[in-house]
Amino acid sequence: MRTTRAFISQTQVQDAITAFTHRLSSLAAKQTWLLLSVSIAIISIADLLSFPLGVTCGPFYMLPICLACWQLDLRSTLIVIVVTAILSIMTFVVYGRPMTTFSLLGNLAVLIFVPGLIVLIVNGLRSSVDRQRKLAHHDFLTGALNTMGFAHEAAAILSSPTRTNKTWLLCFIDLDGFKQVNDRHGHEIGDQTLRQFGAKVRTSLRAGDCFGRIGGDEFAWLIPVEQSASARDVAEILHRRLIGILAQQHDLGCSLGALILPPDHWRPLDELMRAADQLMYRAKRSGKNQLRVASITEIAKTEANAVAGGAPSAHDLASQHS
């Protein structure tokens, strides 16, 4: 069953739901510290200016504390708590408000205890969000990314500035003969087969790889290609490796569509997925264990020529590469 349409719709939903948390989580440590420093300085100045009017801005220190708790480690969060507590006490000192040792210690206890309680709450919330995010982004059966998780990570990789100097392979994988496994041995054995396949592939993933189960017996794999290597050679090596893995499992095979993404290309992820999906189905219609490779640049040129003068379609181009 084709899953590209479902992939696109889930991608849009996922982008809408996780936009804020993704931006917050993507803050680097230096950016977080800069944001904390600016916010603490603004709150401190506002507290000093408003104090003579009988208004305190001290509670607003909870905002940078929560940010530190969400983004930084416990030690860094404790530093932020101590700094904000000292600044709150300094406001009293600047305006000459008398404070006994007992009241000073009491204020410090409150200023540290309350943020500490907030830290526990925020840490619990972050752990819960992380667990839910992992569950939402991973396939429970294979341990690979699911459709939503693959869309999230692949889009982040391909939109990264470091992508522009690399060639990538977007591979769409379909297991040949998997339906027969389900029909002959039952869905429990079929699930076990998928689980074993996912585990073996995940052990071979390199840094920068992105692997996910798109649906049923279909998988997607985004792979960076080293400058010294040929993308077509990498696709052939990958195909042989997958065939070797699957040959040990009920004599399954693998139809693979590999889309080459040159450094200078830019296309939306859903469009790239459709192109890789078409390559895979072209390979599958040619028989068991077939491979089709094409560059998105070649496909784009062929489509443009087809529109201009009835040249062969992108499907025809894809069928010429193996």
Residues 161 and 34 in one domain: no
Which secondary-structure segment (H or E) carries 254? strand 253-261
pLDDT of residue 268: 86
Cite the DSSP H helix spans in the chain: 4-25, 29-50, 62-71, 74-94, 101-137, 147-158, 178-185, 187-203, 231-247, 269-285, 296-309, 314-319
Residue 132 has pLDDT above 80, yes or no: no
pLDDT of residue 117: 76
Per-residue pLDDT band for 26 (boundaries 50, 70, 90) equals: low
Could you tell me the residue range of the domain that residue 11 belongs to? 4-137
Could you tell me if residue 28 is inside a domain?
Answer: yes
Please state the rounded mean pLDDT for residues 192-220: 91
Residue 238 has pLDDT above 50, yes or no: yes
Residue 39 has pLDDT above 60, yes or no: yes
In total, how many domains does the chain have? 2
pLDDT of residue 250: 81
User: Of 106-115, 136-145, 157-166, which range is least confident?
Assistant: 106-115
Residues 59 and 114 in one domain: yes
pLDDT tens column, 246-267: 888 888 999 999 999 988 777 8
Most confident of 52-61, 109-118, 305-314: 52-61
Tokens 């693959």 belong to residue: 150
Residues 206 and 235 in one domain: yes
Residue 1 has pLDDT above 50, yes or no: no
Please state, in angstroms and rounded to a whole number, the distance separating the CA atoms of residues 118 and 70: 11
Select from 102, 137, 172 the last residue of a domain.
137
Which secondary-structure segment (H or E) carries 165? none
Select from 118, 137, 156 the last residue of a domain.
137
Please state the rounded mean pLDDT for residues 305-309: 67
Give the CB-side neighbour count of residue 3, counting CA atoms within 13 A: 20
Please state the rounded mean pLDDT for residues 83-99: 76
Residues 175 and 125 in one domain: no
Percentage, residues of the chain above pLDDT 70:
76
pLDDT tens column, 40-80: 899 889 888 887 887 778 778 888 888 887 788 778 888 88
Contact between 288 and 267 (Cβ < 8 Å):
no
Inter-helix orientation angle 62-71/101-137, to 10°: 40
- Closest to 270 measured CA to CA, from 190, 189, 214, 208: 214
Residue 18 has pLDDT above 70, yes or no: no
Please state, in angstroms and rounded to a whole number, the distance separating the CA atoms of residues 266 and 270: 12
Residues in a beta bridge with 168? 224, 261
Tokens 């709450």 belong to residue: 121
Residue 319 has pLDDT above 50, yes or no: no
Residue 235 is encoded by which pair of tokens? 């696709």
- Entry pTM: 0.60
User: CA 167 → CA 81, 142, 249, 260, 299, distances in Å?
Assistant: 46, 27, 32, 7, 16
Please state the rounded mean pLDDT for residues 133-160: 85
Residues 75 and 223 in one domain: no
Select from 115, 137, 159 the last residue of a domain.
137
**Is the model more confident about 20 or about 296?**
296
Please state, in angstroms and rounded to a whole number, the distance separating the CA atoms of residues 111 and 62: 10
Sheet holding 291-295, edge to edge: 210-215, 218-225, 167-176, 253-261, 291-295
| Residues present in the chain in total | 322
User: CA 39 → CA 60, 62, 155, 252, distances in Å?
Assistant: 9, 11, 31, 58
Residues 126 and 263 in one domain: no
CATH number for the domain that contains residue 246: 3.30.70.270
pLDDT of residue 314: 47
Residues 129 and 76 in one domain: yes
